[in-house]
Amino acid sequence: MREVRLRRVEVDFGACALAVLVCLLLLADAAVAGNIFTYIDEEGVTHFSNIPNDARYMPVILRTPYPKAPSRVPSYRGYDGLILLNARANDVPPALVKAVIAAESMFDSEAVSHAGAQGLMQLMPETARALGVNDPFRPDENVRGGTEYLRAMLDRYGDFSRALAAYNAGPTAVDRHHGVPPYRETRDYVRRVLTYYRHYDSDFGR
């Protein structure tokens, strides 16, 4: 399979378009066993290949970025100290940070989405760079950067629902629709995070 390059034009639908592209590539190359690799270059062009001949390539983990919410809220306390530290530094409720992590990666620090979002809080490479995150797979760096970005969205919109929608779909989509965009994925995401948030509130006391 030759390298395929795709320039993302519309951020709001980038994840869906890239997921479809990867599926098509896999079907076209079904006779050849192997992995699909991707990276986003400095011009915002997304590259796909089954031959990782560039050090920037990372394997694509084919999974649903936002799976159906489990019947029970995921329970994990391993990152609570890290979450509390960064939440206090950015004046963000720690339960909200934990809820975003649960919804984004299910506490998997090595998670990679179809669109290339990475780590616990699923930071896109360009966002990670802007936040000074050198290694998005390091929990300490990822949670710091993700919490700072969440704080920025809260400052911009002033309420949880719109801030979470912007975290999921991008602030451009929230601005264009003057609120939570009418995307099923985004609305499900906002509801899920808020449900997790109410549950995790007791993890951090008062």
Other Cβ atoms within 10 Å of 114 Cβ, number: 22
b (16+ CB within 10 A) / e for 12-33 = bebbebbbebbeebbeeeeeee
| Cα dihedral 149, 150, 153, 154 sign | negative
In 154-205, which ranges are E strands?
none
Catalytic residue positions, numbered: 104
Of the candidates 113, 103, 5, 95, the one whose C-alpha atom is nearest the C-alpha of residue 59 is 113
b (16+ CB within 10 A) / e for 44-58 = eebbbbbeeeeeebb
Of the candidates 198, 89, 193, the one whose C-alpha atom is nearest the C-alpha of residue 145 is 89
